[in-house]
Structure 1
Amino acid sequence: MSTDKAQEYHLESALPEGNRNIHVDPAVEKRVIRKLDWNFVPLVVALYLVSFLDRSNIGNAETAGMSKDLNETDAQYQWLLTIFYIPYILFEWMALMWKIVPPHIWTFATVFVWGLASVLQSAAFNWQGMMACRFFLAAAEAGFSPGIPYLLSFFYLRKEIGLRIGLFLSAAPLATCFAGALAYGITSGHLDIANWRLMFIVEGIPALILAVVAFFFLPDCPEKARFLTEEEQEVARTRAIRQVGEDGAARVGSLDLREVGEALLDPKNWLIALMFFCCNVSFSSLPVFTPTILQEMGFSALDAQGLSAPPYFLSFVMCNVTTWIADRTQQRGLVIITLCMLGGIGYVLLATCRAVAIRYAGIFLAAAGIFPAISNIFPWVLNNQGTDTKRGVGFALLQVVGQCGPILGTRLYPSSEAPLFIKGQWVCAAFMFLSALLAISLRTYLDWQNKGFEKKENEVVGATDIDRKRDNVAVENEGYGFRNVL
């Protein structure tokens, strides 16, 4: 049997019994994936880029003189960082709205609100006004960013989704890189308006524009994408059946309460949520404090803005390379363990070394470990769920637990501990190493589950059927469970 015919057979045989008469041309399927990659993914990447830009640019604003103009104390600035994550946690349940409200409508609402809040920060003339803007910015982003990887699972299969989530999440270090370069350009000018106020305006307007773009061009599900032909939409629907054993169009507007309970009791969801918590301690603190750390190394405020960009460009590259490797090898746990160790070593260098060059190298290692680790954590939780409801609940739990990490992370670098911030560096290093340990534990548990699935299959089906299932992404609806991605 030819390779194309074998792929066609494998796809059809993975469908539920009532849908196995559907013919799928592998060439058309590849065309569908290519069109999704070029028409859908760039839009969500752009949305997340402006999202992360708007949440993290407060560090650049601080370096540009925000606290001085608003007469803020160090404690008040710490609260500006912390307040973002309180509503972010409180509104994490809104990740499930992606399954209830049509995504193009939900995206427009959330993106427009945070864009407006971001721009209004430029008009704040006291600490209280800035706190209010940060609250609404966080509430809106909580309804958007955490749900996008879940939305991607509507469009891509398990073996495809990791790279796409990596592309999506790599917008975070790219935004930080871009923020540093943009802040350098804005703060080097001399205008009538304060540089930090201009920065909030310039970086907030793109969100308002993209909100409108998303309303008209973001597809709710692949078979409704206007950039696909009728034949391609049918193939997209078949891929949805292959993924979840149901009509893809039914994925929006329904929620299985029994599966909600099962997902909440699943140990793997709690382990990976704790991993995200650990990584988030560092993930939240590094972008907002990097300009400050660099400034305390002896660089001017202007140079600190510019020098904060290169480490995040490396992180952007690592996000995409490591998620691609994990997709190809189906060994996401090993990739995460390596990245967490890399990030931890970077923080150890920052905590123990005094030479500027070595400490700057530590920032590179920390950035190259933290962001890519999270880029692989997101697809790992989606890889190992059997249904859309379980994916949604698992992802919501990941966010609720994980977003508690930034409450700690944003308070690790008080100005009283400058210039070395030794305590903050050691705490971040410890959490990165703990995340690696949790990844080892989760991988061991998933391997144990896989052996149980194999034993159950051996008891129920014949050797030929087992061989066929090993060639495919096993579908939970077939009755025997599926292989976890290790």
Structure 2
Amino acid sequence: MAGLHPSPGHPSSTSSNTSSNPRFTPVSYGSEEENPEAGPAKSPILPLRLETNFKDHQDVGDPLDINEDAYGESEELEGKLPNVGSALRFTPEEESEVVKRFDRRLVPFLALLYLLSFLDRSNIGNAKIAGLKDDLQLSSSQYEWLLTAFYITYILFEWMTLMYRVVPPHMYISLCVCGWGLVASFQCLATSFEGLVILRALLGITEAAFGPGVPFYLSLFYQRHELAFRNGLFISAAPLATSFASSLAYLIVRFSSDGPISPWRTLFLVEGFPSVIVAVFAWFLIPDSPGKAAFLTRRQRMVAQQRLEVSTVDYQQSRGSQFKWREILKIASDPKAYLAAFMFFSCNVAFSSMPVFLPTILQDMGYSSLHAQALSAPPYLFAFVVVLITAYASDRSRSRSPYLIGHALISSLSYLTIALTGHFHSHLPPWLHTLIRYLCVYPAIAGFFSAITIVITWSMDNRVEKEGKGASIAILNIIGQCGPLLGTRLYPESDGPWYVRGMATCSVFMVVVAVLAVILRVMLQRLNRAAAETTYTIVEQGGPADEGEERDELMGGGRRNDLEHSTGEKTLVYII
């Protein structure tokens, strides 16, 4: 399990009847006499027992299949599997190199894909002031329906997150990317409101199939205390995409005003079609699992699998007939999953509204269409940096709630300042209330982007099974993505140019995020204290803590690893 390491001086058990979960009891094809127990680890080398008969388990792929003689102790380990009964040992340096390769080859490419998807989703805000509204003669209500249509289908198809467990990811992701690239490009052909609203609905389907499941997909490659920063790298592509969209829109509007087609049509085509090209690369670059990562050596693939303590037989069963529906039902009845989902809902009220309305809001501040496009970019660049810093700090401290609460409150205060400034604008000189409102956009946007990063990561931190993580992400998105149904209707033209009601509403919902985070933090702290008391009580009585049973309610890798060292058990705690 991610984030779980053997205690010093405490060897892992090799008995096959001590656990029903292959991640806790490695699989052996021989008897106990044929597979003697390995000795304790000697720092800094970490011992991991490895299943070696892969003939019936094809998930690992040809690079890890054994078609060669077992090697002796003096033979080169690179790319080979140990003999039956032996133990694979890897150094912290080897593990670090595997993580670095995932950081360099996997995460940036996924971030690029999300950048393209968010670009195609949010560029309608730039297209609006680039001539879309006038050419198609859209009313304010019709424009809001264009935004809402995307999120209606996005919500209805959130269940497709679970398809990551059914279809090989390299195929599934490639088809999603190609799908939204085509639909986004076809928007340039729209000649009516009805045609464009259908395309926006189709775009919601294709993007729902991809984005919400990526944090779950990343959890198959990283330990849980590593996830926040990687999710931050992925999600930070959203503000980067919005900034890029604004900058690109500025160039398109400036240089295509006298072109053969309208600037907004050029915008949809230029920003949509690259996804179709990138989909081809996705087919070859996206690995289905750590054991099939082409950019790793064969030994590194083994290290990547074993560091997560997921054997190939476990992965194969999970993807095949052994789909654990019990885990999905457990998550469906867990109140913690719904607290995270309603936090996500509240964040999404702001997340869905600001990117598509900011160009209009800036234009209503008195800026020209061209300048409004340009001024939309800097706040998102600022948010991009803040998200990365927040995610990195959260992983380093192995803490989520303090960063989430802090950013939610800062964002709420910024929205409130914008609302109050608009309400009392008559008491301020024009240059001052314009400056205040524009500057407050920076912390408002950085706050909700950072909060969303932490919420998504926190929702998976405390789940053991892959099905549980997938179910938690599905619940998070099914409920959370209802937020945009409200967010896309917060800034009607009738409320301009001050939009006091919309700003105040976002402020309230960001306070709700902070309150729910406090409640979830208190719940997890109580569960951790109860787990600690139970463990210490068992130790004082001289008995093992639930020996042979999977502790799937106590999630591991938190800041209280002292329990593991004190009891010799793999005791797991919630990250708070």
The corresponding residue for 1:16 is: 24
Change (3 A) 1:8 1:453: closer
Counterpart mapping for 1:266-277 below 5 A: 266-277=334-345
Closer/same/farther in 2, CA of residues 8 and 180 from structure 1, 3 Å limit = farther
Shift in Å at residue 246 of structure 1? 6.6
Q: Alignment length, in residue pairs? A: 476
Alignment of 1:84 onto 2:150: yes
Q: Provide the residue aligned with 1:183 in structure 2.
A: 249
Name the TM-score, length of structure 2 as normaliser: 0.79
SS in structure 2 at match of 1:482: coil
Listed as ranges, the gaps of 5+ residues in structure 2 are 14-22, 27-47, 50-86, 426-432, 546-556
Q: Which residue of 2 aligns with 1:44?
A: 110
Residue 381, structure 1, aligned to residue 459, structure 2: yes
Equivalent residues of 1:240, 1:246 under 8 A apart: no
1:3 is aligned to none
Specify which of 126, 151, 163 is matched with residue 97 of structure 1. Answer: 163
Distance apart, 1:286 and its partner CA = 0.4
Gaps in structure 1 of 5+ consecutive residues: 1-5
The alpha carbon displacement at 1:458 in A equals: 1.8
DSSP 3-state at the match of 1:188? helix
Contact 1:102–1:252, Cα closer than 8 Å, also in 2: no
Alignment CA distance shift 1:358-1:246 (3 Å): farther
Query: For residues 346 and 206 of structure 2, what CA distance do their matches in structure 1 show?
Result: 24
Looking at structure 1, the residues matched to 419 and 11 of structure 2 have their Cα atoms a distance apart, in angstroms, of 55
* Aligned 8 A contact 2:491 2:502 in 1: yes
Cα deviations across residues 300-325 of structure 1 (Å, max 9, x unaligned)? 01000000000001100011100111
Q: Which amino acid aligns with 2:179?
A: V
Q: Find out whether 1:372 has 2:450 as its counterpart.
A: yes
Query: Do structure 1's residue 26 and structure 2's residue 26 form an aligned pair?
Result: no
- Counterpart of 2:295 in structure 1 is 227
Q: Equivalent residue for 2:126?
A: 60
For 2:327 and 2:530, locate their aligned partners in 1 and report how far apart those are by CA, in whole Å: 21
Instruction: State how 1:341-352 maps to structure 2 within 5 Å.
Output: 341-352=409-420
SS at 2:273 equivalent: helix
Task: Report the counterpart of residue 491 of structure 2 in structure 1.
Answer: 413
Alpha carbons of 1:246 and 1:428: their partners in 2 closer, same or farther (altered >3 Å)?
Answer: farther
Q: Does the CA contact (< 8 Å) of 1:110 and 1:143 recur in 2?
A: yes
Once the two structures are TM-superposed, the CA of residue 252 in structure 1 deviates from its matched residue by: 3.5
* Inter-partner Cα distance in structure 1 for 2:562 and 2:161: 30
Structure-1 residue corresponding to 2:392: 324
1:473–1:84 CA distance, 2 compared to 1 (3 A): farther
Decide whether the 8 Å contact of 1:8 with 1:25 is kept in 2.
no
> 1:288-303 to 2 correspondence within 5 Å?
288-303=356-371
1:435 matched residue in structure 2: 513
Counterpart code for 1:174? L
Q: Identify the residue that residue 217 of structure 1 maps to in structure 2.
A: 285
Q: 1:12 to 1:241 in 2, by over 3 A?
A: farther
Letter in 1 for 2:306: T
How far does residue 84 in structure 1 lie from its aligned partner after superposition?
Answer: 0.6
Corresponding residue SS for 1:23? strand
Q: When the two structures are superposed, what TM-score results if normalisation uses the length of structure 1?
A: 0.93
Q: Root-mean-square deviation (CA), in Å? A: 2.4
Q: Which moved further from structure 2: 25-34 or 282-291? A: 25-34
Is the alpha carbon distance of 1:61 and 1:423 closer, same or farther for their aligned partners in structure 2, counting shifts above 3 Å? same
Instruction: Tell me: CA distance 1:472–1:241, structure 2 relative to 1, closer, same or farther (3 Å).
Output: farther
Amino acid of the structure 2 residue aligned with 1:438: L
- Whether the 8 Å contact between 1:10 and 1:472 is mirrored in structure 2 is no
Shift, 1:480, TM fit: 7.3
- Look up the SS of the partner of 2:144 in the other structure: helix
Give the Cα–Cα distance (whole angstroms) in 1 for the partners of residues 209 and 528 of structure 2.
34
Over the matched positions of the two proteins, sequence identity in percent amounts to: 42
Q: After superposition, where does 1:303-342 map in structure 2 within 5 Å?
A: 303-342=371-410
Determine the C-alpha separation between the residues in 2 that align with 1:472 and 1:29.
Answer: 23
Q: Which residue of 2 aligns with 1:361?
A: 439
Over alpha carbons, which structure has the higher Rg? Answer: 2
Q: Considering fraction of residues, name the structure with more helix.
A: 1
Partner deviation per Cα, 1:325-372 (whole Å, 9 max, x = no partner): 111112201100000011111111110113111000111111110111
The offset of 1:240, in angstroms, is: 2.9
Residue aligned with 2:209, SS: helix
Write the mapping of 1:406-485 to structure 2, written as runs, cut at 5 A: 406-461=484-539, 470-471=560-561, 482-485=572-575
Letter in 2 for 1:47: L
Report what 2:37 is aligned to.
none
